[in-house]
Amino acid sequence: QKEVEQDPGPLSVPEGAIVSLNCTYSNSAFQYFMWYRQYSRKGPELLMYTYSSGNKEDGRFTAQVDKSSKYISLFIRDSQPSDSATYLCAMSGQGAQKLVFGQGTRLTINP
């Protein structure tokens, strides 16, 4: 079993829809949770960052962490074609511990 599980998709939705992306994990020591967006032929870009449990909102993006269920989510409201990318979840424990990435979900927003 992988430490971090993420459905690779692909996921295709119409413009304006609410998108829900999810990851599950097995390591209860994880404390830092991130979502990265990666456009084709580009490096990953940090999109959302959360420490421990709870929600964080930034514009159209909301990140949720449920440590009791070992489950994190990224919601995209009013999705735009420019949101079409691969979204990777990543997480790590306390201290200088390495990041563990999910496989990435390929998302397409159709105009």
Please give the size of the binding site for another protein, defined by CB under 8 A: 24
Between CA 108 and CA 84 the distance in angstroms is 4
Between CA 56 and CA 82 the distance in angstroms is 21
108 contributes a contact to another protein by CB under 8 A = no
Write the DSSP string, 33-52.
Answer: EEEEEE-TTS--EEEEEEES
Q: State the CB neighbour count (10 A cutoff) for residue 58.
A: 10
Inter-residue contact 106 to 19 (CB < 8 Å): no
Closer residue to another protein in complex, CB, 17/70: 70
Closer residue to another protein in complex, CB, 63/104: 104
- Name which of residues 15 to 34 contact another protein (CB under 8 A): 32, 34
- Name which of residues 36 to 95 contact another protein (CB under 8 A): 36, 41-46, 49, 51, 88, 90, 92
Closer residue to another protein in complex, CB, 70/106: 106
Nearest distance from C-beta of residue 98 to another protein, angstroms: 5
Omega cis (within 30) before 44: no
* Token couple for 25: 């994990």
Binding site for another protein (CB under 8 A): 6, 8, 32, 34, 36, 41-46, 49, 51, 88, 90, 92, 96-99, 101-104
